[in-house]
């Protein structure tokens, strides 16, 4: 059940939709496409009222479902042809190029594909649909790290080409890398929505500093917003503000190595949902 979820995604934007299992992400995507009928509210896709003209609205959407089930008896290419047959703007050539990029054998039966391969096939058909809006439900789920990176690059390219990418995911590092804005959903309600940069500014900023020779705490640079923990050669620096100012403080230290250990969306996610749980 969704309550008062209101979102607007601009053309050419990559938008992430995040939430724990059962938050309503898939239901939200299904309502946009008319697979589930909302009781109230309005949906506009590419300037088309999707509740009044669902068919026209769906012509503008390339959708990859979260469920990887497909017609098992089909071969990969036949499945692609079937999925693209309803989109006037679809390109089978583009689809075949994506199959090749993802390493999917065209002649193999769908039932013989692994979970990750099915996920790639669903992505290929959504992208090759040629629709201006891509709606992807958990597109990274089941993919290995290399494939995940490849999909991230692909989605960024699609957005750069002017397509709108709206995707739900549990893979927060991917959302962080690809999305311009992100929305957090919980129990069918929108908790937070905003630019990724803005939301990330709420996460802690930490540097892991390895020195060539040990130092005492009072020999480390101090200043407002800097907090050191650790001992000897290994220190952890928590800082507020931007990274450039923090790094400027470290120039006098004999640094062996430096690693950014700042919290990402996962930390914000935990804080957000932890606070919600405490409140409830």
Partner 1 sequence: MIARHFLWEQRFLALGYFLLLLVNMMASVLYWPELRDSIPEMIKLIPFKPLQDFARAFDEQGFWAYYGAQHFWKGAGMFGIAAAGLMGSGVVARDVDQRTAELLLSRPVSRARILCERWCTGALLILLPFTMVAFIGGWMAPSVDEMLDRSAVLMGVAHSSTFLLAVFTLTCWLSALFTHQLKAGILVLGFMLLNLAIYLVKDLWDWSLYNLIDLDVTLPMEAGVYPWRETFWLGGATLVFYVGALVSFQRRDF
Catalog residues that contact partner 1 under the rule CB under 8 A: 30, 33-37, 55-56, 58-59, 61, 63, 65-67, 69-73, 82-83, 85-87, 122
**Minimum distance of partner 1 from residue 64's CB (angstroms):** 9
Distance of alpha carbon 153 from alpha carbon 147, whole angstroms:
10
Residue whose CB is less far from partner 1, 34 or 221: 34
> What would the two tokens of residue 246 be?
């923090």
Residue whose CB is less far from partner 1, 13 or 81: 81
Instruction: Name 193's bridge partners.
Output: 183
Residue whose CB is less far from partner 1, 165 or 182: 165
Q: How far is CA 147 from CA 85, 92, 119, 170, in A?
A: 26, 22, 11, 16
**Minimum distance of partner 1 from residue 44's CB (angstroms):** 16
**Minimum distance of partner 1 from residue 163's CB (angstroms):** 17
Question: H helices of 161-218, where?
Answer: 172-178, 196-200
Residue whose CB is less far from partner 1, 72 or 227: 72
Residue whose CB is less far from partner 1, 126 or 172: 126
Q: How far is CA 108 from CA 28, 67, 73, 111, in A?
A: 33, 20, 10, 8
Tell me the three state secondary structure of residue 280.
Answer: coil
> What would the two tokens of residue 189 be?
């309600």
Question: H helices of 110-257, where?
Answer: 115-128, 145-160, 172-178, 196-200, 243-248
**Minimum distance of partner 1 from residue 179's CB (angstroms):** 22
Residue whose CB is less far from partner 1, 19 or 65: 65
Instruction: Name 185's bridge partners.
Output: 190
**Minimum distance of partner 1 from residue 178's CB (angstroms):** 22
Between CA 144 and CA 39, with CA 163 as vertex, the angle to 5 degrees is 90
**Minimum distance of partner 1 from residue 165's CB (angstroms):** 16
Contact 101, 79 (CB under 8 A): no
């Amino acid at each position: 059940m969704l309550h008062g979820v209101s979102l607007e995604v601009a053309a050419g934007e990559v938008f992430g939709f995040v939430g724990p299992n059962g938050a309503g992400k898939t239901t939200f995507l299904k309502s946009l496409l008319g697979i589930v009928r909302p009781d109230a509210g309005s949906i506009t896709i590419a300037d088309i009222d999707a509740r009044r003209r669902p068919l026209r609205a769906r012509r503008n959407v390339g959708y990859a479902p979260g469920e990887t089930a497909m017609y098992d008896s089909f071969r990969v290419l036949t499945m692609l042809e079937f999925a693209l047959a309803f989109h006037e703007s679809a390109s089978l050539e583009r689809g075949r190029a994506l199959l090749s990029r993802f390493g999917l054998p065209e002649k193999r039966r769908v039932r013989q594909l692994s979970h990750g391969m099915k996920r790639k096939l669903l992505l290929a058909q959504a992208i090759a649909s040629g629709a201006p809006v891509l709606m992807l439900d958990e597109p990274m789920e089941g993919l290995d790290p290399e494939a995940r990176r490849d999909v991230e690059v692909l989605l960024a390219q699609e957005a750069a080409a002017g397509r709108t990418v709206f995707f739900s995911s549990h893979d927060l590092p991917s959302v962080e890398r690809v999305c311009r804005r992100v929305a957090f959903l919980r129990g069918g309600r929108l908790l937070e929505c905003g630019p990724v940069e803005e939301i990330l500014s709420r996460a802690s900023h930490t540097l892991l500093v390895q020195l060539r020779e040990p130092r005492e705490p009072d020999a480390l640079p101090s200043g407002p917003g800097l907090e050191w923990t650790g001992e000897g050669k290994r220190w952890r620096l928590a800082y507020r503000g931007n990274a450039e100012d923090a790094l400027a403080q470290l120039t006098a230290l004999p640094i062996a190595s430096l690693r950014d250990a700042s919290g990402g969306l996962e930390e914000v996610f935990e804080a957000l949902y932890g606070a919600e749980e405490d409140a409830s």
